[in-house]
Chains A and B, each alone.
Chain A
């Protein structure tokens, strides 16, 4: 199965992966071969078969809305690459113009 370069670019953008040209070309071939191996699934008629999203009979699990001790803020923020005034700093999300 062959995948177009344009599809690889589209999926890489969706996945937020700034891949090099060489990576994109390699993935184009690899994804094609992997998807080809998946085609055996098309030989099965699954009409009317319910999908299994998870295997345990479990519905929504609720808990009381009770206050508990959270992790100390300083300890949590210690792993953040950029911190300012006890908050995480990121580059602008919206264009200011």
Chain B
């Protein structure tokens, strides 16, 4: 099989090819490494490419297969967002603060991939400490959207989404705090799944906002997302917030269909600010679900508009506490010249953090500071209850909620960089489900101006199976989208 054809495979197709002996994991891994080498200078998806390690893992996988062994991901090359710790491989969160940091342990999600036989191609670019919606806040380099290199890939998992979209990996891990898997998936045209809060262990996920952070996956189709979730989900004694809820066999029964499934459509997601052509694509996708047997039902989520301020109080507040650990003492950047501890910490933090991280630390510290706590943090947590209640009420009448993932297709690099509030508004469609901790995903549903558009599906807690079945039903009804030429493929 030609090298580019190997790179385009889904996880399942690649696994079938490996099992049938059509190619080896070394062939597959080498093809992807070659493609990264050829394209990534233009895309910027990777911060670190672990070529030697990947080939050694691929060789080991081939040997295991030759010895008659198999595994759900045996020999399949993936990319890991640089927010997850990888033993012996630099992990920086795209921040100067963590330059040179080499974790002494693997995140549980990474360890589970390894145990399933996966090959790690490298660590992907991101907004610094996962704070951003365009990947322009990477301290290392921006990521470019593979469909149009002048556009942002979304963020903060922009490197992972671009790597999947440019066929620079078969699938990737990301993290989603307010939309950081779904929004870049929508903007880059891949599937992005954020499971229920607590579904995947966060041990080794470098913390941003602990009441919201969740690991997610970016894949080429829905069955691949089910396959990865099945490997990753489950209780972990090392993360006390990981849920002790049984893990169903997500890939099994994926093609059950949507006969009688009640799909909720809320007017609050189709209001002002939504690009009319994005609305058309999303409504067509919901109609396709209906044709496939689902029933559309109107629902109301009246507190949707408050999600943006609620999130941008809560997430920076939690971030200001989580990022207190970067102080030049235990790891990362330091200042050996400093003569007292306060001076050292203040200088290291001023030098090591980029502008968006500083902005959020300042915002969060302000919101938590004496005299403001009730007005901001407590108030935001109360409104968070109302947002959560909206979903609980809606899910009494419907099984799933359908909405756009992002209000518009990918925007120009630089367009929102000087206007933080405009940048924050790119997350307006993904924040509510994050605040309620719900499982949700984005799936490509069309193109506008030659750029991908995402349909967002949201389900009740731990109903990932239903979520994936609905997404798969849509994927089958949709068929292969008529896609324009990716700019990254044009030499």
Contact A18-B347, Cβ < 8 Å, known A31-B362, A50-B385, A91-B338 = yes
- B102 A79 Cβ-Cβ under 8 A: yes
Contact A80-B362, Cβ < 8 Å, known A40-B309, A55-B436, A92-B340 = no
Q: What distance in Å separates the Cβ of B439 from its nearest Cβ neighbour in chain A? A: 12
CB < 8 Å neighbour of B339 from A40, A72, A91 = A91
CB < 8 Å neighbour of A16 from B237, B303, B312, B327 = B327
- B344 A91 Cβ-Cβ under 8 A: yes
Q: What distance in Å separates the Cβ of B271 from its nearest Cβ neighbour in chain A? A: 15
Determine whether B383 belongs to the interface, using a CB cutoff of 8 Å to chain A: yes
Nearest residue in B to A72 (C-beta to C-beta)? B104
CB < 8 Å neighbour of B385 from A52, A82, A93 = A52
Determine whether A25 belongs to the interface, using a CB cutoff of 8 Å to chain B: no
Determine whether B411 belongs to the interface, using a CB cutoff of 8 Å to chain A: no
Q: What distance in Å separates the Cβ of A80 from its nearest Cβ neighbour in chain B? A: 6
Q: What distance in Å separates the Cβ of B106 from its nearest Cβ neighbour in chain A? A: 11
Q: Considering the chains assembled together, what is the distance between the CA atoms of A76 and B320 in angstroms?
A: 24
Interface string of B340-351 (1 = CB under 8 A from A): 111111110110
Q: Considering the chains assembled together, what is the distance between the CA atoms of A71 and B100 in angstroms?
A: 19
Determine whether B403 belongs to the interface, using a CB cutoff of 8 Å to chain A: no
CB < 8 Å neighbour of B197 from A30, A42, A56 = A56
- A11 B329 Cβ-Cβ under 8 A: no
Contact A44-B385, Cβ < 8 Å, known A14-B365, A55-B197 = no
- B362 A51 Cβ-Cβ under 8 A: no
Nearest residue in A to B330 (C-beta to C-beta)? A80
Q: Considering the chains assembled together, what is the distance between the CA atoms of A92 and B338 in angstroms?
A: 10
Determine whether A7 belongs to the interface, using a CB cutoff of 8 Å to chain B: yes
Interface string of A6-30 (1 = CB under 8 A from B): 0110111011111110010001001
Determine whether B211 belongs to the interface, using a CB cutoff of 8 Å to chain A: yes
Stretch at the interface among B2-10, B115-123, B374-382: B374-382
Q: What distance in Å separates the Cβ of A34 from its nearest Cβ neighbour in chain B? A: 6
Determine whether B306 belongs to the interface, using a CB cutoff of 8 Å to chain A: yes
Nearest residue in B to A79 (C-beta to C-beta)? B331
Determine whether B491 belongs to the interface, using a CB cutoff of 8 Å to chain A: no
Q: Which residues of A contact B328 (CB under 8 A)?
A: 81
Q: Considering the chains assembled together, what is the distance between the CA atoms of A52 and B438 in angstroms?
A: 14
Determine whether B164 belongs to the interface, using a CB cutoff of 8 Å to chain A: no
- Most chain B CB within a 10 A radius of its CB, from A15, A38, A72: A15
- 18 inter-chain pairs at a CB distance below 8 angstroms, sorted by A residue, are A14-B369, A15-B362, A17-B349, A18-B346, A34-B312, A35-B366, A37-B424, A38-B309, A42-B379, A46-B379, A51-B382, A54-B197, A54-B241, A55-B388, A61-B241, A92-B339, A92-B341, A93-B341
Q: Using a CB–CB distance below 8 Å, which chain B residues touch chain A? A: 100-102, 104-105, 197-198, 211, 237, 240-241, 243, 303, 305-306, 308-310, 312-313, 320, 324, 327-334, 336, 338-347, 349-350, 353, 355, 358-359, 361-363, 365-366, 369, 376, 378-386, 388, 420-421, 424, 435-437, 461
Q: Using a CB–CB distance below 8 Å, which chain A residues touch chain B? A: 7-8, 10-12, 14-20, 23, 27, 30-31, 33-35, 37-38, 40-42, 44, 46, 49-56, 58, 61, 63, 71-72, 75-76, 78-82, 88, 90-93
